[in-house]
Amino acid sequence: MSILITGANRGIGAALLAHYRAEGHPVFGTARKPGTGLERLDVTDPESHARLARRLAGKPLSLLVCNAGVYPDKGQTLDGGYPAALWAAGLATNVTGVFLTIQSLLPNLRAGRGKIAIISSQMASQARAPGGSYIYRASKAAALNLGRNLAVDLAPEGIAVGIYHLGWVQTDMGGKGAQITPEASAAGLATRFAALSPATTGCFEGWDGEAIPF
């Protein structure tokens, strides 16, 4: 099973990379500024996608994990915060970046009859809207919508698409007071990805298998 994980230099991306490597799977990780063993990919840059697609040409992919994301809302206030440039940067990474990643690697997914896992958040749910974090919530809701529609369009080709909440994880984004470790989240997510199939395509689930309302 050949796997590619975007944003694999830290946090849950790095934990997923370590999880799959420990299981012996061929796995590629990407980052904007890659370290040892990572492919270079800026998900906001079409040419960066094109370069990666050329490097991976002819390599079948069993699983693509669209994990790269940003949480730009910290410190922003409703009165005077959330400038337009911050919105543009958040959407470029969390939404457009997901689409460009999938679009550029479709030949690899088709060759491997692969699956697509999009890391969104329960904060994307319209049923769970306590306010605040406007850019993150809106961008992750858009990523959820994107995944649901891709699930429909790719179903005839047998490519399943799942959308996932990684939990409140002890990362730079989640903070030290978060509920679960990156390793626990990665193990749970890997189980969910393994269960993803044409029968469950379009699902919106937590790392622990909880179905999340749209």
Q: What is the pLDDT of residues 76-121, one digit of tens each?
A: 999 999 999 999 999 999 999 999 999 999 999 999 999 999 999 9
Instruction: Tell whether 185 is covered by a domain.
Output: yes
The pLDDT-based confidence of 170 (bands split at 50, 70, 90) is: confident
Give me the pLDDT at residue 55, please.
96
Sequence-separated (6 or more) residues with CB below 8 Å from residue 70: 89, 90, 93, 94
C-alpha to C-alpha distance for 55 and 49, rounded to whole angstroms: 10
Contact at 8 Å (CB) between 185 and 167? yes
pLDDT > 90? residue 168 = no
CATH number at residue 155: 3.40.50.720
Query: Considering the domain boundaries, does residue 110 fall inside one?
Result: yes
CA distance linking residue 150 with residue 154, whole number of Å: 6
Nearest residue to 101 (alpha-carbon basis) of 81, 117, 86: 117
**Is 214 among the domain residues?**
no
pLDDT reported for residue 45: 98
Lowest mean pLDDT of 29-38, 43-52, 82-91, name the range: 29-38
The answer, yes or no, to whether residue 171 has pLDDT greater than 80, is: no
Q: Tens of pLDDT along 172-181? A: 666 666 678 9
What pTM did the predictor assign? Answer: 0.95
For residue 213, being part of any structural domain is answered with: no
Identify whether 131 is part of a domain: yes
Instruction: Using a pLDDT cut of 70, give the percent of the chain over it.
Output: 96
Supply the pLDDT for residue 179. 79
Cα separation of 1 and 3, whole Å?
A: 6
Residues of the domain holding 142: 3-206
- What does the mean pLDDT of the chain come to? 95
> 14-25 pLDDT, tens per residue?
999 999 999 999
204-206, strands of its sheet edge to edge: 38-40, 27-31, 3-5, 63-66, 115-119, 161-165, 204-206
CA 184 to chain centre: 17
Asked if pLDDT for residue 39 goes beyond 90, the answer is yes
Residue 212 lies in a domain: no
Please give the pLDDT value at position 176.
64
Q: Please state, for a pLDDT cut of 90, what percent of the chain lies above it.
A: 89
If you search the block for the tokens 């080709």, which residue do you land on? 157
Per-residue pLDDT tens digits for 149-162:
999 999 999 999 99
Within a domain: residue 174?
Answer: yes
- Sign of torsion over alpha carbons 13, 201, 71, 31: positive
Our count of domains for the chain comes to 1
Asked whether residue 211 carries a pLDDT value surpassing 80, the answer given is yes
The answer on pLDDT for 187 being more than 70 is yes
